[in-house]
Amino acid sequence: MLDIISFLTQIPVRKETKIEAVAVRSYLFPFVAVLIGLLVAVVAFVSFGFLVSAPEIAALLVLLAIYLVTGLMHLDGLADFFDGIMTSGGRREKRIAMKDEKIGIAGLFAVIFVILLSFFAVETVCAGFTKATTHSFDLPTFYYFASVFIIAEVSAKISMNTCILLGNGKEKGSDAKEGIGALFINSCSKSKYVVALLSSVLIALLFTASSFRFAIMFTGIAVAIVVSYVAKNKFGALSGDIMGASNELARCATLLIWAIFQAAF
């Protein structure tokens, strides 16, 4: 578990992460999502409590907290994924572009767009709640913030688990047999995925009393299906970058859907 925390976060629990151990136990990702969500919820709870009149600054602090806790590894994967997609040519050229250490304009645009969407979603979800209920430093208020960010992170992590499962198919090419992504794919099984899925469902049930908020956790699975389909068509296989991209897109999509629902109802 310490290896998984070290791999998915910037929390210094290990000097050296055993990536093989992480790959074998990737079904535990949703539990680390709880830790990430709680840490971010603390920042949101305090920020939106003290900065009621400046929700934009509070939302910026929350977004900063997300990436201070999780790091930029998956954000880098998002950039590489879109650089590969937007590159002209066949699968070989697209894979080369995705592996290029330099970030392209497509990757830069994707990162900025996802961060902006996440920023506005966090502001809408959190500021809307504080205005409607008058923020108080009490347990029910913290529970709300915890539910937002834990469900968003669980959605992101089950999205990664889904990508890992979907990568374990006959579409795998020679490129799928190399790299960190292949290590996760080859260590995956349907039974492990079921454990990850049931864990995600249990966590979602514990942190929300709303049927819609519970259902929103499955956004990550939908995102993973789309990302995996695109990846297999564009690159011929799934990689670590694609799994990271799925993580970022799933978190953003989950927060965005929550914000739209809250603004509408």
Per-position DSSP letters for 122-170, written without gaps between them: HHHHHHHHHHHHT--SSHHHHHHHHHHHHHHHHHHHHHHHHHHHHTSST
Residue 132 has pLDDT above 90, yes or no: no
pLDDT-wise least confident of 11-20, 68-77, 151-160:
11-20
Nearest to 160 by CA among 122, 206, 193, 202: 193
Asked whether the whole model's pTM tops 0.75, one would answer yes
Residues 52-89 pLDDT 10s: 889 999 999 999 999 999 999 999 999 999 999 998 88
Residue 173 has pLDDT above 80, yes or no: no
Q: What's the rounded mean pLDDT across residues 32-56? A: 94
Q: What's the rounded mean pLDDT across residues 244-248? A: 96
CA dist 65 → 37, 76, 140 (Å): 10, 17, 22
Residues 190-244 pLDDT 10s: 999 999 999 999 999 998 877 777 889 899 999 999 999 999 999 988 888 999 9
pLDDT of residue 129: 81
Which residue do the tokens 């090419």 mark?
173
User: What mean pLDDT is reported for the chain?
Assistant: 90
pLDDT of residue 212: 78
* Helix, strand and coil in the chain, % to nearest 5: 80, 0, 20
Q: Where is mean pLDDT largest: 12-21, 42-51, 94-103, 234-243?
A: 42-51
Q: What is the CA radius of gyration of the chain?
A: 18
What is the share, in percent, of the chain residues with pLDDT greater than 90? 65
28: exposed, middle or buried (C-beta count within 10 Å: 0-12, 13-18, 19+)?
buried
Domain segments of the chain: what residues? 2-264
Instruction: Please give the biggest Cα pair distance in the chain.
Output: 56
Query: pLDDT confidence of 176, banded at 50, 70, 90?
Result: very low
